[in-house]
Amino acid sequence: EVQLVESGGGLVKPGGSLRLSCATSGFTFSRYSVNWVRQPPGKGLEWVSSISRSGSDIYYTDSVKGRFTISRDDAKNSLYLQMNSLRAEDTAVYYCARDQGGSYPYFFDYWGQGTLVTVSS
Amino acid sequence: DIQMTQSPSSLSASVGDRVTITCRASQGISNYLAWYQQKPGKVPKLLIYAASTLQSGVPSRFSASGSGTDFTLTISSLQPEDVAAYFCQGYYTVPPTFGQGTKLEIK
């Protein structure tokens, strides 16, 4: 069974940092691109970042460029998102999602349960 | 960025009704379109990809069509368990973008 389990969310002050993790199982992690997608409370979905299976192709939405860093550890079957200089508008549930694409993000066939990030003073 | 616009934003229909949701892209995206269902308090679930290909395990009452800029998701006979928000997502370019969602309720 394919599983993705996020962790690392919580309450942080504006300007602070958090590191999200996504532990995966049930599939060969190294063969898939993976993504972070977020959803502010009561709102729609927003793609945040993608990393290809090789790790050589990385993309970010404009609003997080220079502040967020995506990475992966194939030995640990895990995806990460380092979030710095956090803003109130980054408040959301953050999902990791498996991608059916190649070098750039496509569609997402499996999602984790999400981890809530709240940025507030 | 390519903008995805869904209509309607909300919809109320009766059990057994045929329901159609529309998604329009701000520029042509060929068939690079997916649909997701998100039930209240749950994780998004992939329903359709490549504009019309049903994901494994999705009931056959769901279907979708379209190409270029105009796409539709159809539920042939609405069931109570279909109460959810539905999102389209284009993936022709980076960034992949989602529609704002359509909230479907039972009348």
pLDDT value at residue B95: 97
Q: How far apart are CA A68 and CA B33, in angstroms?
A: 27
Q: What is the mean pLDDT of residues B44-63?
A: 98
B57 inside 8 A of chain A by CB: no
Q: What residues of chain A lie within 8 A of the CB of B97, using their CB?
A: 47
User: Would you state the pLDDT for residue B29?
Assistant: 97
End-to-end CA distance of chain B: 36
* C-beta atoms of A45 and B91 within 8 A: no
Residue B104 is predicted with a pLDDT of 98
Q: Which pLDDT belongs to residue B9?
A: 98
- Put simply, the answer to whether A45 touches B95 (Cβ < 8 Å) is no
Listed residue (B19, B99, B33) closest to B65, CA to CA:
B33
Q: Are residues B86 and B104 in contact, defined by beta-carbon separation less than 8 angstroms? A: yes
Q: What was the pLDDT predicted at B80?
A: 97
Does the structure show a pLDDT above 90 at A100?
Answer: no
pLDDT digits (tens, 9 = 90+) for B10-42: 999 999 999 999 999 999 999 999 999 999 999
Between chains, do B91 and A107 touch, taking CB under 8 Å as contact? yes
Across the interface, whether the CB atoms of A106 and B91 are under 8 A apart is answered yes
Mean pLDDT computed over every residue of chain A:
97
**What confidence score (pLDDT) does residue B92 get?**
96
pLDDT at A101 exceeding the cut of 90: no
Lowest mean pLDDT among A102-111, B18-27, B48-57, B70-79: A102-111
Subunit contact A109:B55, Cβ cutoff 8 A? yes
- What is the rounded average pLDDT for all residues in chain B? 98
Residue A19 has pLDDT above 90, yes or no: yes
**Could you tell me the CA-to-CA distances from B12 to A42, A72, A103, B17, B20 in Å, in that order?**
19, 42, 40, 10, 11
Please give the Cα distance from B54 to A104 (Å, whole number): 22
Taking the Cβ of residue A27 and every Cβ of chain B, the question of whether any pair is shorter than 8 Å is answered with no
- Helices marked H in A1-121 — which ranges? none
pLDDT value, residue B41: 95
Residue B63 has pLDDT above 90, yes or no: yes
The pLDDT score that the predictor gives to residue A70 is 98
> What confidence tens digit (pLDDT) does each residue in A102-111 have?
788 999 999 9
Q: Is B36 on the interface with A (CB under 8 A)?
A: yes
pLDDT of B91 reads 97
So what's the pLDDT on residue A46? Answer: 98
Does a cis peptide bond (omega within 30 degrees of 0) precede residue B95?
A: yes
Average pLDDT score over residue span A89-102: 94
